[in-house]
Amino acid sequence: MAAVLLLYHLQPDSGITTPLTAPPILTALSSVAGFAVGFHDAKAKTRAHVLEQRNRELRETQTELEDTVTQLEESEHRYRTLTENIPNGAVALLDREFQHTLIAGQGFEKLDFDASGVRGERIQDVYADQHLDIIEPHYRATLDGEQTTFEITFQSRTFEFRTHPLTNDENDVYAILAMSQDITERKQRERELEKQAHEQRVVAELGQLALETDDLDELMDEAVHQVTTVLDTDFCKVLDLDETGTELLLRQGVGWNDGLVGEEIVSAVESDSQAAYTLENNHPIVVEDLESETRFSGPELLTAHDVRSGISTVIGPFDDPWGILGTHDTDRATFSDEDISFVQSVSNILAEAIERQQYQTELEDLIADIEESNKRLEQFAYAASHDLQEPLRMVSSYLQLIERRYEDELDDEGQEFLEFAVDGAERMRSMIDGLLKYSRVETEADPLEPVELEAILEDVLDDLQVAIETTDATITADSLPRVEGDARQLRQVFQNLLENAFEYSGDEPPTVHVSAQRNGTNWIITVEDTGIGIASEDHDQIFEVFERAHSRSEGNGTGIGLALCERIIERHGGEIWVESTPNEGAKFSFSLSAVGIRERPPRRRSGQRH
């Protein structure tokens, strides 16, 4: 086509009309024109395709932007919905410059605070310095990826803040989510619960102190200090009612002017006295504002200290009060039921301690009176028995003289009368001797110390050898322990019990067994016989002085031996008792404090020595 065009260019002007040259040239020209048209059309189609591709990309970008906007709108809507439906709560979004991009919620309703004016503001322009000192370090920690929790008090209300870092796909923190909630009521409940727990601990501690101390003033002093601390009051007092019931002494107190405690007197009968009104009621008296009180006016003790509120209650029973416990404050105050119960509980502790001390004092006085009476009785018994010895010896001597001189001149009846007289004198001597021993249990006793019961029993058996042989008695004994005791007095116990076993053995020779059994810190020693026994109704009375369980025909006991045994065992801190049934023997047992155990093989003792 280029050659044809060249040929056409070289031809003379009339060359195109020449039959030989015209067809090729025309063909070439048409080809050139077709090529040009085709080329232009291809370029146009290419441009359209590119434009269409760009338009499609723009539409996709626009769709993405619309989705992003929708998501942002939905996100903001969710945040607003969240904050608007959280009770007492609020949510804020802050950028890295601590600028509020979103803030909403219900947590501002009780504050003088406009949340709408905070949006777009930095925290430095919103919060006071004392709040910034708390908030800013936590926000900076959140920008470092930490979640934080802290509390701040605004306008007397307490808020809890929780912060969360918001991150992008590269895990970089781009914003702070801060959620806050008004926890004023919750903190108040927590403080109330802590206060109640504190009140209970104080009551328990005062109760323990009341058990441990005998000093009432120490207990009262601790009580008034604890009450003022727990209830955060300025004053507390314990008023002691005098015997006439007309005056109250400020016995213990805290907060009062110097010199008043132990000296100040408050009337218990004046009609306008709060103290008198308290004594007339069997429940605590609560005053929220003394200036508007209509039931009474405060006594000078209260008005002189500008007291306005308080609680007072009776110490002790309403019909026989010991005094008053009261706590007061210079501000108007409202006291909860728990506060009132706390004061009443402290009052009850004081009342119980006072009652216990009064009882202890009365008991000590009674014991002192009994001891004095016993001492006088012992002195009387000793003097009487000692003074009776001389005339009794005279009676016995003259009876013996009559028996020697006039035995042949007396008939049978006279002989019988003389025997009765001699026997009576002998029994009188035994009774006087028993009374002397009974009266000397405390006054002529030896100190308690470790003693060997085996050795003591051995000595007693030696002393009773004649009686053992005369009655053909059989005595067996297990291994006996060491105990805390007075060896001389314990010998008397064994001797009396063995002699009783011989005396009331019945028609058969006496058989006695002595044993020991450990019972905790004590040893139980038992002397058991096979004699005539004792009726159950007599088990207690046989330990009384001159009380007998059997007639003279069944035995010649004086009625002092078992009473003496009981007094000796009681002096040793133990007990003695009997288990017996008529005609089936008797088992006497007594307890003694243990020292140690020394086992020995059983030993048998009878009328013949081994």
Give the rounded percent of residues in the chain with a pLDDT score beyond 90.
41
Structure tokens at 125: 């322009």
**Cα–Cα distance measured from residue 458 to residue 472, given in angstroms and rounded to the nearest whole number:** 18
Q: Is the dihedral of CA 579, 582, 584, 585 positive or negative?
A: positive
Q: Which CATH number fits domain 86-182: 3.40.50.300, 3.30.413.10, 3.30.450.20, 1.10.275.10?
A: 3.30.450.20
**Does 86-182 match 197-350 in CATH topology?**
yes
- Three-class HEC string of 323-359: EEEEEEECCCCCCCHHHHHHHHHHHHHHHHHHHHHHH
Domain residue limits, the chain: 2-64, 86-182, 197-350, 447-605
Residues of the chain with pLDDT under 70: 1-51, 54-55, 57-58, 60-88, 106-110, 112-113, 381-388, 439, 442-443, 545-559, 596-610
What's the first-to-final CA gap in the chain, in angstroms?
Answer: 167
DSSP notation for 61-120: HHHHHHHHHHHHHHHHHHHHHHHHHSTTEEEEEEETT-BEEEEEESTTTTSS--GGGTTT
Helix segments in 440-533, DSSP class H: 453-463, 465-471, 487-503
The DSSP output letter for 447 is P
**Cα–Cα distance measured from residue 301 to residue 286, given in angstroms and rounded to the nearest whole number:** 17
**What are φ and ψ of residue 28, in 5° steps?**
-65, -40
Buried b (16+ CB within 10 A) or exposed e, 587-599: bbbbbbebbeeee
- The CA distances from residue 388 to 41, 113, 371, 384, 435, in Å, are 165, 107, 25, 6, 11
Tell me the residue type at 72.
Answer: L
List strands edge to edge, sheet with 173-182.
100-105, 89-95, 173-182, 157-167, 148-154
pLDDT computed for residue 563 by the predictor: 84
Has this prediction a pTM greater than 0.75? no
Question: If we measure between CA atoms, which residue out of 578, 569, 586, 579 comes closest to residue 483?
Answer: 569
Whether the CB-CB separation of 324 and 252 falls below 8 Å is answered with: no
CATH number for the segment(s) 447-605: 3.30.565.10
Q: Which CATH number fits domain 197-350: 3.40.50.720, 3.30.450.40, 3.40.1010.10, 3.40.640.10?
A: 3.30.450.40
Neighbours of 456 (CB within 10 A): 22
Structure tokens at 145: 């990826």
